[in-house]
Amino acid sequence: MGVKRTKFGHNYYYILTIDELKNGNFRGKNVVIEGVIEDKPKIEFLPMELPSYRATFHISGLKIEFSGTPNIGKGESVKVYGRFVGDGIIAKAIETERVLYVTEE
């Protein structure tokens, strides 16, 4: 497997294209992808137990979920670090040109 990896925080992430992610065997693995947000991110307030927020958006049809309220929008280029769960990524970090958003494990 000639896939490149990068270290972010305490973990290594496979650097993939969207196509490699959709075709590969990376379920459950830490991955990093780059792309353009194709819809308006939806930010939900989750009042149960510990109040929190969840942001959801799509890159090339891939669902991205992030715990928090990142200031990102449709058409913006982002780099997403997270765990691939089959139909999407549970993001640990979202990097834009100006800001790095990071969530707790």
Residue pLDDT, tens place only, 53-103? 999 999 999 999 999 999 999 999 999 999 999 889 999 999 999 999 999
Distance CA 75, CA 40 (A): 9
Q: What is the mean pLDDT of the chain?
A: 94
Tokens 């969840």 map to which residue? 54
Residue 48 clears pLDDT 90, i.e. is over it: no
Tokens 């149960």 map to which residue? 48
Coil, strand or helix: which one is 6? strand
What is the 8-class DSSP label of residue 40?
P
Q: Which of 99, 80, 94, 89 is nearest to 15 (CA)?
A: 80
| CA-CA-CA-CA dihedral for 51, 92, 64, 99, to nearest 10 | 90
Mean pLDDT across the stretch 5-12? 94
Higher pLDDT, 50 or 79: 79
Whole-number pLDDT of residue 3: 85
Whole-number pLDDT of residue 1: 52
Distance CA 100, CA 17 (A): 20
Which band of pLDDT confidence, cut at 50, 70 and 90, is reported for residue 105? low
Which band of pLDDT confidence, cut at 50, 70 and 90, is reported for residue 22? confident
Point out which residues pair with 53 in neighbouring strands. Answer: 45
Whole-number pLDDT of residue 10: 92
For 86, residues 6+ apart whose C-beta sits below 8 A from its C-beta are 27
